[in-house]
Copies of this chain bind each other. A is one copy, B any other.
Amino acid sequence: MGVVVQLSGSQDAGASLAPLTALVGDDMGHVNRIILDKAGSNVELIPELARHLIDSGGKRLRPMLTIAAAKMCGYEGDGHVQLAASVEFMHTATLLHDDVVDESSLRRGKIAARLLWGNEASVLVGDYLLGQAFKMMVDVGSLGALRILSDAAAIIAEGEVMQLTAANNTETTEDDYLAVIDAKTAALFAAATEVGAVIAERPKHEAAALRSYGRNLGLAFQLVDDALDYSGEQSKLGKSVGDDFREGKVTLPVVLSYRRGNPEERVFWERTIKDGNIGENDLNEAVDLIARHNALADTMERARHYGAIARDALAIFPDGEIKEALLEAIEFSVDRPY
């Protein structure tokens, strides 16, 4: 536990989500009220379980992106708030299902819902939230936004299945891994930002630019997340360091270390990741191997590549405080405190 490796980049560099949070604050208050309201049900278990996860916070990055995108596009209605809540519900549903599939024990620093209420309840409440998300989207009445978000839901599910297939497979290529995170993570980021332009009825190229921004931000975000799992301090990360390792998840640090390793090292990865035969000192050994092959630094380097693409995607929008905040969200994601 608590293995900490220094990544390049500095905690003091100062990129933060604060400007974004400030700019979308009022609308996010509205989003949060909708979230609490729509997570309600006469079936007592539903709000109980849902709120366990919802109250535990999380950055609410995805709905903030929807709000910010809509505002940057000059949207003046209130549909963006409902869409943002839908996006967060889609994300929450994914987390509930993920924890069941991955047999995780910790989520956002709290005991995973599945350990308190069971796997079945977690799966079903996830389904319920997804259903609520779709109802809210339909209420907004934008067919375009509905299409984008329902496409994303299908792609996310596809990504989860892909990940299941790739699980424990040390021979996963970087392209395979990227295809998984493109579907599993980046698709929702892309949809979250694209719908902002769509409900504001902005031209196609602005929707495409916001989609590209979201997608590449999502890729960068997930890459850094995967790096943090081998380096972050547990308290800051809100999940156990080494979770991915213990679950046999093949993330980029492992892909690179496996491929760059010698035959003996590959045997180590096959025993631990592939066969799930993990001893007491194996996480430390994994962290050492990852460091030896520069795999964390290179994972961060790949993240910066996608961050750069996200930045250029946004460049067509006029300068302004929202654009500035969205650009800072890239820096924050690529250079998160660890």
Which residue numbers of A lie inside 8 Å of B, CB to CB? 169, 171, 173-176, 205, 208-209, 211-212, 215-216, 255-256, 258-260, 298, 301-302, 305, 308-309, 312-313, 315-316
Contacts and interface: CB of A to CB of B under 8 A. Distances in A.
A19 to B, nearest CB: 22
Contacts of A256: 312
A-B complex: 6 closest residue pairs judged by Cβ atoms: A171-B205, A259-B315, A173-B212, A175-B212, A305-B305, A174-B309
Given A302-B305, A305-B302, A305-B305, A208 B171 contact: yes
B259 A208 contact: no
Q: How many copies does the complex hold?
A: 2
B259 A312 contact: yes
Contact of A255 (B173, B298, B305, B312): B312
Contacts of A312: 174, 255-256, 259-260
Given A260-B315, A315-B260, A316-B259, A215 B175 contact: yes
A175 B313 contact: yes
Nearest to A260: B315
Contact of A173 (B208, B258, B305, B308): B208
17 contacts: A171-B209, A171-B316, A173-B212, A174-B212, A174-B309, A174-B313, A175-B208, A175-B211, A175-B215, A175-B309, A176-B212, A256-B312, A260-B315, A301-B305, A302-B305, A302-B309, A305-B305
